[in-house]
Amino acid sequence: MEGKKVVITGLGALTPIGNNVADYWQGLKDGQSGADLIKSFDATNFRCKFACELKGFDPLEHFDRKAARKMDPFTQYAMVAADEAIEDSGIKSGNIPLEKIGVIWGSGVGGLLTFQNQVLDYGDNGRDNPNYKFNPFFIPKMIIDIAPGHISIKHGFRGPNFSVVSACASSTNAILDAYYYIKLGKADAIVAGGSEAAVTISGVGGFGDMRALSTRNDDPKTASRPFDLDREGFVLGEGAGAIIVESEESALKRGAKIYAEILGGGLSADAHHLTAPHPDGLGANLVMQNALNEAGIQPEEVDYINVHGTSTPLGDVSEVKAISQVFGDHTYKLNISSTKSMTGHLLGAAGAIETISCIMAIQQSVIPPTINHFTDDPEFDPNINFTFNKAQEKSVDIALSNTFGFGGHNASVIIKKY
């Protein structure tokens, strides 16, 4: 795609293994598991009793009590990650007109806790009460587009502002939308990313009873085990990731530090099933082919793939089939890893934090590992380097990040050393 060159000038993260980018990246390099028994509600009667929750996050360290009450946790997480990225980038230094700075944000389910609590309260207290009143903040707290709304209100950004919903591909779609808008000259800089706060009664109950979650309740820390023979479901995570996507022209003009360049991305649909991937990886194959074509590079130029790799029996197999189809013999020279083995699956926020892991891999020449590998699965070629259990040093010039969502939504982004 012709147009402006697009770079990344700021990063922000709030994850189950670190509440800022530095701690998150250290957790990835160390192979730290963020999974534990659920603390935020009593999960005794649930099929899955554990998740990757945030650790030590107190909204009152970031917001006053009145402001915090007006935000669902998914918006609080968005604000914290965005604030870190905005400060890191320096885009508020006055060198970019505020009408040329936008916010594009992704989430799979948005204000799930707000929705759940209001409906439960109505069932308990409102069903037979003609004077019952819904919380006036119920709708503004719940809707997904409220997160970029809050970010823009706080910082005065008056450029393009909207949300993207494509299940677990949401924040990758947000990053790609930011890339396209900047290429087209619609903005100079965009805060892009995603947040999720689905570790709730309804989230854990819903995903659990559709048999999507691991039920390794006796050993939660090793439950997320992508590509392992004994994988049996994903681990739900929560948090947010934000990146500042900016035109190279704008970044150079204001003397910003540049982390990496976005070369392009791909989109596709499985057109197959509501929740299961295509067994032959057709959608995954197409999205990576589309990304390579848009980036104008050959498969042999990619050094690292941060895979979707959720630790489900079907999903992991179909993704590796697709990688083998697209990359051929170069598959054996790639490093592949699933950082969901450490963070769990942040649903709509997964793409943002995993793009950050690709950027840091490029910056520091380190491939984060796929932890919790115990038993080889004969479905996978033993010569593929899944970066099992320990980070590996490797020079990374180009990295690709895959995210695939329920409904067959696929998105890939390609990041290059600047």
Phi, psi of 294 (to 5 degrees): -65, -40
The residue assigned the tokens 């659920």 is 38
Q: Where does 225-285 show beta strands of DSSP type E? A: 239-247, 260-269
Q: Where exactly are the structural domains of the chain?
A: 6-417
Phi, psi of 216 (to 5 degrees): -80, 65
Q: How confident is the model at residue 1 (pLDDT cuts 50, 70, 90)?
A: low
Q: Give the global pTM.
A: 0.97
What separation in angstroms does the CA of 133 have from each of 116, 119, 121, 129, 219? 16, 12, 10, 9, 43
- Residue 189: pLDDT over 60: yes
What would the mean pLDDT of 172-196 be, rounded to a whole number? 97
The sign of the torsion formed by the CA atoms of 85, 337, 165, 143 equals negative
pLDDT for the residue 94: 87
Q: For domain 6-417, give the CATH number.
A: 3.40.47.10
Active site residues: 168, 308, 345
Angle at Cα 35 formed by Cα 33 and Cα 38, nearest 5°? Answer: 160
What would the mean pLDDT of 166-172 be, rounded to a whole number? 97
**How far apart are the two ends of the chain, measured CA to CA in Å?**
18
Q: How far apart are alpha carbons 73 and 67 in whole angstroms? A: 12
What would the mean pLDDT of 8-23 be, rounded to a whole number? 98
Residue 384 CB: number of other CB atoms within 10 A? 15
Q: How confident is the model at residue 276 (pLDDT cuts 50, 70, 90)?
A: confident
- Residue 2: pLDDT over 80: no
